[in-house]
Amino acid sequence: MSTKERNKAIARIVSFIRKEFVAKGWNLLGKPGTDVYLIKNVSDCVVQKLVVYEPLKTSSLPQGAWAGFACEINVLYPELNQFVKDVCGESFPPLTVRLALSEVLPPDQVFAQTVLLFNFDEKEASLIGADFVRMYEKYLEPVRVRLSSYGVFLDEDYVPPGVIAWDWKLLRTVYYRLYSSKGDWMGYAKKLDAQANAVLGDEVDENVSRIYSNISELGHASQVRDARRAKLLIQALTGFQ
């Protein structure tokens, strides 16, 4: 298949996927192009932005595959983030959730931990688009729906697949502060503070520079950063009137 033929096929696939999502209640975000950008204002409290795109070059795909599509959804909670901004100021980074189709698909259907592969020689463009939408509906749509209301924060054992646990805990903390009783909020804040203290342990001052020699140490450093961020947020929320 020539590059020109491939580009035409990709355009047809992307057009099919875009139309299918719009028919399901998504709205176009920007002008149609080679990627799919959509938005859904689920409510005043939840906004979801979806993108379907090709993150890998054709040369990076395995032999026989002509396309590798990824799908991600950014879940935004404007009310919760506005409250964080009111409490902590502009310096505290926004709390968002990123869902990825690659995180919920069976591992044997994902290439490079990122994309779903297709071979144009096997199916027409519309069939490939339909297959992609079907995989999305089966694996990622249930997670998206679950994150469409604040009710998801009531299950303290739940963390969306692929989402950094500390990011999710911070969102739940803000939700508890806004909508739970004082006793429930303080109980959860105390539990989260204890988890942060367990991560920090005897860590040196955060302003001291360190050189990390391996991935394990980098992972721990990330945990330490998130734990400090949690303690900062808990302290600000506790003192806010």
In tens, the pLDDT along 100-136 reads 999 999 998 899 989 998 876 656 777 888 999 999 9
**Residue 216 and residue 127 in one domain:** no
By residue range, what is the domain housing residue 208? 155-239
Predicted pLDDT at 225: 87
pLDDT, tens digit, for every residue of 192-224?
999 999 988 856 455 444 554 555 555 567 788
Nearest 10 degrees: CA dihedral of 152, 155, 161, 167? 80
Question: What is the number of domains present in the chain?
Answer: 2
Predicted pLDDT at 219: 56
The beta-carbon contacts of 15-24 under 8 Å, at least 24 apart in sequence, are: 15/129, 16/125, 16/126, 16/129, 16/130, 17/52, 17/129, 17/132, 17/133, 20/129, 20/130, 20/133, 21/50, 21/133
**Residue 116 and residue 233 in one domain:** no
| Mean of pLDDT over the chain | 87
Q: Specify the higher pLDDT residue, 208 or 17.
A: 17
**Residue 123 and residue 219 in one domain:** no
**Residue 159 and residue 134 in one domain:** no
**Residue 135 and residue 39 in one domain:** yes
**Residue 57 and residue 165 in one domain:** no
pLDDT, tens digit, for every residue of 42-87?
988 999 999 999 999 888 888 777 789 999 999 999 999 999 999 9
Predicted pLDDT at 61: 85
**Residue 126 and residue 175 in one domain:** no
Domain limit, last residue, from 126, 146, 166 = 146
Predicted pLDDT at 146: 96
**Residue 137 and residue 174 in one domain:** no
pLDDT, tens digit, for every residue of 160-191?
999 999 999 999 999 999 999 989 999 999 99
Please compute the mean of the pLDDT values over residues 81-99 and round it to a whole number.
90
For residue 127, what are its two tokens?
């069939």
Domain limit, last residue, from 93, 121, 146 = 146
**Residue 141 and residue 185 in one domain:** no
**Residue 76 and residue 161 in one domain:** no
**Residue 135 and residue 162 in one domain:** no
**Residue 91 and residue 23 in one domain:** yes
Domain limit, last residue, from 119, 146, 173 = 146
